[in-house]
């Protein structure tokens, strides 16, 4: 990855926004610019000035590794449990004419805000959306990694569905899939996966419980992994034994809505128009009020990122975006259905990144 190029783009943006420095702490952003993986319990701060200073602050325990592996040469450390870990920023800011600092409002806590204000009087400006826009279009290397993440999760989903039998518990199905993910060398899960069966599906209860799978239930399984920093995400709906005609209809409508939304994907179309394809089809079939969430979302270094595909999203799809399409229907007392796939927007239209069988079993 050309991290230096990414930093150069950020500096250009900072000049445009009249921002003198950026202090970044969101782990996806830090990884985007540094390439460094940190344990989820650890954190780092990336400092970039519009004059081209690039400094990475890490916890003492990460320092040696970062010095060895990171392209950034100016690495500084803070004690692991120091409540005042931003002290090293003081020397970086000292004597510079810094009036406006870009930070991520969605990741800076009030605790950290106080620490930042202890080292600078500069105005804090929210640049999170600008950073998300950088990350929205994936380059070739990123797309290859995402494809691997998608293949791993697809394999895990197939293995889990192959293993279902009457009486198996929701969390046991989830465990089978997670084991495939970890043995394939993924870094971890991209979110807390959930198998939801019967009432748990239509309620819904978004975690895997010790409820046993029974015949005649619709079962949803939403799963994702992180591979080389990048997320994948897939949902399948399946069942044991025979279903009522209404359960079958819910599945058919959710699946058809998904397929129609996917085939509408092409560069130049508005995200909200993709959402509309799915939402209108579901409404036309009488389930409009049973579809309570978005049609899809971008994913990359984060599991939810731009573009969001919802009824009010005015982002125009472009080649290089990676999104999910996942309309769902949840009917009290009957069942729920959702089929979710990852889709790459291409110059000519789209490419499906997940291809595990979508039919009810």
Which residues contact a copy of itself by CB under 8 A?
37-42, 60-62, 64-65, 68, 80-81, 103, 105-111, 113-114, 124, 126, 169, 171-172, 174-175, 178-179, 182-183, 185, 187-189, 191-192, 194, 203-207, 210, 292-294, 303-304, 308, 310, 332
Q: How far apart are CA 120 and CA 293, in angstroms?
A: 41
Q: Which residues pair with 22 in a beta bridge?
A: 48, 102
What is the C-alpha radius of gyration for the chain, rounded to an integer number of angstroms? 23
Smallest separation, CB 51 to a copy of itself (Å): 25
Helix (H, G, I), strand (E, B) or coil at 140: helix
- Which of 252, 304 has the CB closer to a copy of itself? 304
- Which of 41, 51 has the CB closer to a copy of itself? 41
Reported residue count of the chain is 361
Beta strands in 205-293 (DSSP E): 218-223, 225-227, 230-231, 234-239
- Which of 7, 331 has the CB closer to a copy of itself? 331
CA atoms within 13 A on the CB side of 183: 9
Smallest separation, CB 176 to a copy of itself (Å): 9
Smallest separation, CB 296 to a copy of itself (Å): 11
Helix (H, G, I), strand (E, B) or coil at 166: coil
Smallest separation, CB 55 to a copy of itself (Å): 21
- Which of 35, 320 has the CB closer to a copy of itself? 35
Cis geometry, peptide bond prior to residue 123 (ω within 30 degrees of 0): no
Q: For 130, phi and psi rounded to 5 degrees?
A: -65, -40
Beginning with the edge strand found earlier in the chain, give each strand of the sheet holding 123-126 in spatial order.
74-78, 54-59, 44-49, 21-24, 100-103, 123-126
Smallest separation, CB 297 to a copy of itself (Å): 9
**How many CB atoms are closer than 10 A to CB 15?**
11
**How many CB atoms are closer than 10 A to CB 346?**
15
Q: Which string of DSSP letters, residue by residue, matches 1-20?
A: --HHHHHHHHHHHHHHHT--
- Which of 126, 263 has the CB closer to a copy of itself? 126
Smallest separation, CB 118 to a copy of itself (Å): 14
Taking Cα atoms as reference points, which of 353, 257, 356, 359 lies closest to residue 309?
Answer: 257
- Which of 110, 245 has the CB closer to a copy of itself? 110
- Which of 200, 247 has the CB closer to a copy of itself? 200
Smallest separation, CB 336 to a copy of itself (Å): 11
């Amino acid at each position: 990855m050309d991290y230096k190029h990414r930093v150069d783009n950020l500096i250009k943006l900072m000049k445009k926004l009249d921002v003198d420095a950026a202090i970044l702490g969101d782990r996806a952003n830090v990884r985007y610019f540094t390439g460094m993986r940190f344990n989820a319990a650890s954190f780092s701060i990336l400092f970039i000035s519009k004059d081209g200073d690039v400094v990475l602050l890490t916890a003492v325990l990460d320092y040696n590794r970062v010095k060895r592996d990171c392209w950034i040469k100016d690495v500084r450390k803070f004690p692991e449990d120091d409540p005042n870990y931003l002290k090293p920023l003081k020397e970086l800011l000292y004597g510079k004419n810094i009036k406006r600092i870009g930070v991520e409002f969605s990741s800076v806590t009030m605790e950290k805000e106080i620490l930042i204000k202890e080292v600078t009087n500069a105005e804090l400006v929210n640049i999170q959306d600008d950073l998300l826009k950088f990350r929205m279009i994936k380059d070739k290397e990123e797309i290859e990694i995402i494809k691997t993440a998608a293949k791993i999760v697809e394999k895990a989903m197939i293995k889990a569905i192959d293993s279902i039998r009457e009486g198996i518990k929701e969390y046991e199905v989830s465990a089978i899939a997670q084991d495939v993910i970890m043995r394939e060398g993924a870094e971890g899960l991209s979110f807390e996966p959930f198998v939801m069966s019967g009432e748990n599906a239509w309620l819904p209860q978004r975690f895997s419980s010790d409820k046993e799978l029974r015949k005649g239930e619709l079962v949803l399984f939403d799963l994702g992994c992180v591979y080389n920093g990048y997320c994948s995400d897939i949902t399948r709906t399946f069942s044991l034994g025979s279903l009522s005609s209404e359960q079958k209809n819910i599945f058919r409508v959710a699946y058809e809505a998904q397929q129609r939304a996917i085939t509408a994907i092409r560069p130049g179309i508005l995200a909200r128009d993709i959402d509309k394809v799915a939402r209108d089809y579901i409404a036309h079939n009488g389930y409009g009020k049973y579809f309570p969430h978005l049609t899809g979302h971008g994913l990359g270094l984060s599991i939810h990122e731009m573009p969001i595909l919802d009824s009010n999203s005015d982002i125009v799809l472009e080649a290089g975006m990676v999104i999910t399409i996942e309309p769902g229907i949840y009917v009290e007392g009957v069942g729920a259905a959702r089929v979710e796939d990852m889709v790459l927007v291409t110059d000519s239209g789209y490419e499906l990144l997940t291809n595990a069988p979508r039919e009810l079993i």
